[in-house]
Chains A and B, each alone.
Chain A
Amino acid sequence: MKFTCPECGAEIEAEDVIEGEILTCPDCGVELEVVLEGDSYSLKPAEKEAEDWGE
């Protein structure tokens, strides 16, 4: 599956992604969240780490 980084336009290659998964752009390093609408996948900027994140 091929995506275009919404931040820097680079091409991102990813296999069997699922909704909510996080991909990192190989060029600019921004974290992107996989969005699923109907049966089409796209990417949006992921949430930034917050103070209460973790285990």
Chain B
Amino acid sequence: MSHKITLLYDRIRVEEKELINAAEKRGVHLKAVDAKALHVVASDLQADKELFGDVILERCISFFRGLYLTAVLESKGITVINNFETANICGNKLLTTLALAKAGVPTPKTVIAFTPEEAEKALEELGYPAVIKPVFGSWGRLVAPLRDREMAQYILEHRAEMGSPLHQIYYIQEMVERPPRDIRTIVVGDELVAAIYRYAPPNEWRTNIARGGKAEPCPVTPELEELVLKAAKAVGGGVLGVDVLESPRGLLVNEVNSTVEFRGAMSASKIDIPGKIVDYALEKARR
């Protein structure tokens, strides 16, 4: 009996539980499959298709695990939310910046360098304060404000010591002047379904909910909606978290997240976010 939706997970979080409940409420057969407990033939695109449903909600907390499973399953003709292109772009801050730039979506000024020496020059041109971020990363991990040249040199020195070649990619942005909050919006298909302010916790500059950020309702203006939908489209669309900064020169898209966490958004929005996601998956399964 082929089931409709597969929820691909490696860790059941609040979000996955809510998605399972939303499917149950709709009487939709959803099968949760642990990505840590499966292996799939990649060289034969017809093999192992029966392990999966008509559409897959890819919810792995490990980015690369989710990304490569998406590549394999999409190559077998199975619809995956989000698709490989979107997941690949959103998981890589540089690719996200390029996709947004191509679509003319305003973002913080961003410079890329590949050695600490060039990163230092980039910072001189960009000016302080600035921000350094790893190209792969989330929850604000390894994101640091570079308030002045001296601090920047220490952080660049630490980065140079970090083994992985990925850390030798210096992704540097202007520090955007903003209130102590950002805006997290949830996009499902071509609809902005929820928006929240995320306030940074005491003596913290980052606003991630995973770091203790507080969610508050955020009104959706036409300007915010247009910008966010444009950004979602630019990265390939699907179920996304588009993060926006309120800067002196208007709204800027900071980043776009693929396997979006929406517990914060659920706590400060009346919209049934998991329900919207399941409906979107059903719609995709019919096409």
Residues of A within 8 A of B (CB): 18-22, 33-34, 46-47, 50-55
Q: Is A52's CB under 8 angstroms from B32's CB?
A: no
Partner of A55, one of B11, B12, B65, B138: B138
Q: Is A55's CB under 8 angstroms from B258's CB?
A: yes
Q: Is A55's CB under 8 angstroms from B259's CB?
A: yes
Interface residues of B in 33-71 (CB under 8 A from A): 34, 36, 61-65
The answer to whether residues A55 and B20 also contact, given A20-B11, A20-B34 and a CB cut-off of 8 A, is no
Q: Is A52's CB under 8 angstroms from B63's CB?
A: yes
CA distance A50 to B259 in the complex (A): 16
CA distance A54 to B138 in the complex (A): 5
Q: List 30 A-B contacts (CB under 8 A).
A: A18-B17, A18-B20, A18-B32, A19-B12, A20-B9, A20-B10, A20-B11, A20-B12, A20-B32, A20-B34, A21-B17, A22-B13, A33-B11, A34-B12, A50-B62, A51-B136, A51-B141, A51-B164, A52-B62, A52-B63, A52-B65, A52-B91, A52-B136, A53-B61, A53-B63, A53-B138, A54-B137, A54-B138, A54-B139, A55-B138
Cβ of A49 to closest chain B Cβ, rounded Å = 9
Partner of B12, one of A22, A51, A53: A22
Q: Which of A22, A51, A52 is the most central at the interface, judged by chain B CB atoms within 10 Å of its CB?
A: A52
Cβ of B71 to closest chain A Cβ, rounded Å = 15
The count of residues in chain B whose C-beta lies closer than 8 Å to any C-beta of chain A is 30
Map CB proximity to A onto B1-39 as digits: 1 under 8 Å, 0 otherwise: 000000001111100110010000000000010101000
Residues of B within 8 A of A (CB): 9-13, 16-17, 20, 32, 34, 36, 61-65, 91, 136-139, 141, 164, 210, 241, 257-261
User: Which residues from A are CB-within-8-Å of B16?
Assistant: 20
Q: Is B10's CB under 8 angstroms from A55's CB?
A: no
User: Which residues from B are CB-within-8-Å of A33?
Assistant: 11
User: Which residues from B are CB-within-8-Å of A47?
Assistant: 10-11, 36
CA distance A21 to B283 in the complex (A): 28
Q: Is A53's CB under 8 angstroms from B139's CB?
A: yes
Q: A22-B12, A54-B210, A55-B261 are in contact. List 11 more A-B contacts (CB 8 A).
A: A19-B12, A19-B34, A20-B9, A20-B11, A33-B11, A34-B12, A52-B63, A53-B61, A54-B61, A54-B63, A55-B257
Cβ of B114 to closest chain A Cβ, rounded Å = 19
Q: Is A55's CB under 8 angstroms from B62's CB?
A: no
User: Which residues from B are CB-within-8-Å of A46?
Assistant: 11
User: Which residues from A are CB-within-8-Å of B141?
Assistant: 51, 54
Closest chain A residue to B258 by CB distance?
Answer: A55
User: Which residues from A are CB-within-8-Å of B260?
Assistant: 55
CA distance A55 to B76 in the complex (A): 25
Closest chain B residue to A36 by CB distance?
Answer: B34
Cβ of A29 to closest chain B Cβ, rounded Å = 17
The answer to whether residues A52 and B64 also contact, given A19-B32, A20-B9, A33-B11 and a CB cut-off of 8 A, is yes
CA distance A21 to B18 in the complex (A): 12
CA distance A46 to B61 in the complex (A): 13
User: Which residues from B are CB-within-8-Å of A20?
Assistant: 9-12, 16, 32, 34
Q: Is B11's CB under 8 angstroms from A22's CB?
A: yes
CA distance A40 to B61 in the complex (A): 26
